[in-house]
Amino acid sequence: MELAHRLSLIEPSPTLAISARANELKAEGKDIVGFGAGEPDFDTPQHIKDAAIEAIKSGFTKYTPVSGIPELKKAIVQKFERDNGLTFAPNQILVSTGGKQVLYNFFLAVLNDGDEVVCPAPYWVSYKDIVSLAGGTIKLLHTSIELGFKITPHDLEKQITPRTKVFILNSPSNPTGATYTPKEIHSIAKVLEKYPDVLVLTDDIYEKLTYGVEFSNLATQSEVLRPRTIVVNGLSKAYAMTGWRLGYAGGPKEIISAMDMLQGQSTSNANSFAQKGGVAALNGDQNCVDEMRAVFEKRRDLAFSLLDNLKGVKVFKPQGAFYLFPDIADLKAAPGWEKLKQKTGESDTGKIFSKGLLDEKLVAVVPGSAFGYENGFRISYATSEVQIEKGLKRIRAFVEELWK
Ligand SMILES: Cc1ncc(COP(=O)(O)O)c(C=O)c1O
């Protein structure tokens, strides 16, 4: 059977491949520590669940308007006003089945074949594949651990060409946790202001998870950019609602209408009763968010302290999200590296390390190549302190053995 040629443009999610191997080992009775999953381990707060249960009980189980129920769109408008100082009309809001669908809608709505999308690397796994499916080409702006995995305005300016259609900024970042200060965002905005044809996508999904850095985005920082910026957010990470599949965007009416039309010809509305849960999340008491954030910050400190000062492993203390992204380029000089490379049969640094770590120490992490950065790997610390300690001690032992 001949399948569509477009499938050759994308790859299966590498995060899922690691999870599958980790599950296989778990099924064999092995004591696996999983640092692969990109989702909070907390349960969804009770008042949000209650709102959805109530919605089902009252029969709120039918199609809704494609772009979302008016009540949720109003809650989103208020959220943008309250948290970001941004004013949107309800017809500038779209609710989708996760932030991921918002991104699909957006790139399908704006890209033509050959259009370029500039994106800092390491980047979130799906950007590249979504852009490719929509006919675009991703242009990576590589960053380094020495610069805290952040781009500079100068780097950005060099990468913009007449073919650049979109610039993506994801802060706090998946996979590095790098979080731009308002001032840094402002200086990036100044560059983008000079290029009126470039659309801006700010992926704010980790907005609520920052540690000591004030959150901001390009729309908040620049009135000039606002009419060409799409602000993407969702409920998954802030409210531990990954399985509910609720994401949203605020942006220019023309783009939002196009995204709405595309969604109307694919999935239609996001789940009706999940949307009622979304209203409860955004309008309700935000203490639950603060509590989860505080736990993540504690875990970040613990995970960072356990990995710091390890020969061959550079770690950067992230200011947001729930990931650590160590750089292991120097590990290639360890005496045990060649043997590990042969044993795993892999050729890229992050894959050699991740496969070896899973097979020998039963710890699952995601290789950096999944995020466009070969010499690294991602640890998700969205798990208990007990697991963090256990897993990171195993990682230390694994690395120390490579130097023997
Ligand atoms: C940077 C980033 N953007 C968007 C998403 C999409 O999240 P969801 O579809 O659950 O809203 C994720 C999920 O991992 C993410 O890490």
Select from 8, 27, 11, 41 the least CA-distant residue to 299.
Answer: 41
CA torsion 378-384-387-392 (nearest 10°) is: 40
Query: What pLDDT, on the 0 to 100 scale, is given for residue 344?
Result: 93
Query: What pLDDT, on the 0 to 100 scale, is given for residue 20?
Result: 81
Q: Is 170 in the pocket of ligand 1 (CB under 6 A)?
A: yes
Query: What pLDDT, on the 0 to 100 scale, is given for residue 226?
Result: 98
Task: Give the tens place of pLDDT for each residue, 329-381.
Answer: 999 999 999 999 999 999 999 999 999 999 999 999 999 999 999 999 999 99
Do both 267 and 365 map to the same domain?
no
Question: If DSSP codes are grouped into helix, strand and coil, which group holds residue 249?
Answer: strand
Tokens encoding 41: 């381990």
Could you tell me the distance, in angstroms and rounded to a whole number, from the CA of residue 80 to the centre of ligand 1? 18
Do both 26 and 95 map to the same domain?
no
Q: How far apart are CA 404 and CA 401, in angstroms?
A: 5
Do both 117 and 81 map to the same domain?
yes
User: Which atom, in ligand 1's list, is nearest to the CA of 103?
Assistant: 4
Could you tell me the distance, in angstroms and rounded to a whole number, from the CA of residue 78 to the centre of ligand 1? 22
Q: For 291, what's the count of Cα atoms within 13 Å in the CB-facing half-sphere?
A: 10
CA angle, 250 as apex, 159 and 12 as ends, to 5°?
60
CA torsion 169-380-52-230 (nearest 10°) is: 0
Return the number of other C-beta atoms located less than 10 Å from residue 346's C-beta.
Answer: 18
Could you tell me the distance, in angstroms and rounded to a whole number, from the CA of residue 204 to the centre of ligand 1? 9
Do both 37 and 50 map to the same domain?
no
Task: Give the tens place of pLDDT for each residue, 26-47.
Answer: 899 999 999 998 889 999 999 9
User: Which atom, in ligand 1's list, is nearest to the CA of 203?
Assistant: 3
CA distances from residue 183 to 11, 20, 221, 346 in whole angstroms, order as listed: 36, 41, 9, 41
Q: Match 């130097």 to its residue by tokens.
A: 403
Of 283, 315, 334, the last residue of a domain is 283
Return the number of other C-beta atoms located less than 10 Å from residue 317's C-beta.
Answer: 16
Could you tell me the distance, in angstroms and rounded to a whole number, from the CA of residue 19 to the centre of ligand 1? 17
Could you tell me the distance, in angstroms and rounded to a whole number, from the CA of residue 98 to the centre of ligand 1? 7
Bond from prior residue into 122 cis (ω within 30 degrees of 0): yes
Q: Is 120 in the pocket of ligand 1 (CB under 6 A)?
A: no
Do both 334 and 301 map to the same domain?
yes
Query: What pLDDT, on the 0 to 100 scale, is given for residue 12?
Result: 78
Do both 59 and 187 map to the same domain?
yes
Q: Is 38 in the pocket of ligand 1 (CB under 6 A)?
A: yes
Q: Is 95 in the pocket of ligand 1 (CB under 6 A)?
A: no
What single-letter amino acid sits at 399? V
Query: What pLDDT, on the 0 to 100 scale, is given for residue 38?
Result: 87
Q: State how many domains the chain has.
A: 2
CATH number for the domain that contains residue 396: 3.90.1150.10
pLDDT in tens, the chain (404 residues): 999 999 998 887 777 777 788 889 989 999 999 999 888 999 999 999 999 999 999 999 999 999 999 999 999 999 999 999 999 999 999 999 999 999 999 999 999 999 999 999 999 999 999 999 999 999 999 999 999 999 999 999 999 999 999 999 999 999 999 999 999 999 999 999 999 999 999 999 999 999 999 999 999 999 999 999 999 999 999 999 999 999 999 999 999 999 999 999 999 999 999 999 999 999 999 999 999 999 999 999 999 999 999 999 999 999 999 999 999 999 999 999 999 999 999 999 999 999 999 999 999 999 999 999 999 999 999 999 999 999 999 999 999 999 99
pTM tops 0.75, yes or no: yes
Query: What pLDDT, on the 0 to 100 scale, is given for residue 33?
Result: 96
CATH number for the domain that contains residue 172: 3.40.640.10
Q: Is 100 in the pocket of ligand 1 (CB under 6 A)?
A: yes
Q: How far apart are CA 247 and CA 56, in angstroms?
A: 20
Do both 237 and 295 map to the same domain?
no
Q: Is 40 in the pocket of ligand 1 (CB under 6 A)?
A: no
Could you tell me the distance, in angstroms and rounded to a whole number, from the CA of residue 247 to the centre of ligand 1? 9
Question: If DSSP codes are grouped into helix, strand and coil, which group holds residue 230?
Answer: strand
Query: What pLDDT, on the 0 to 100 scale, is given for residue 17?
Result: 73
Q: What are φ and ψ of residue 229, in 5° steps?
A: -115, 135
Could you tell me the distance, in angstroms and rounded to a whole number, from the CA of residue 242 to the centre of ligand 1? 9
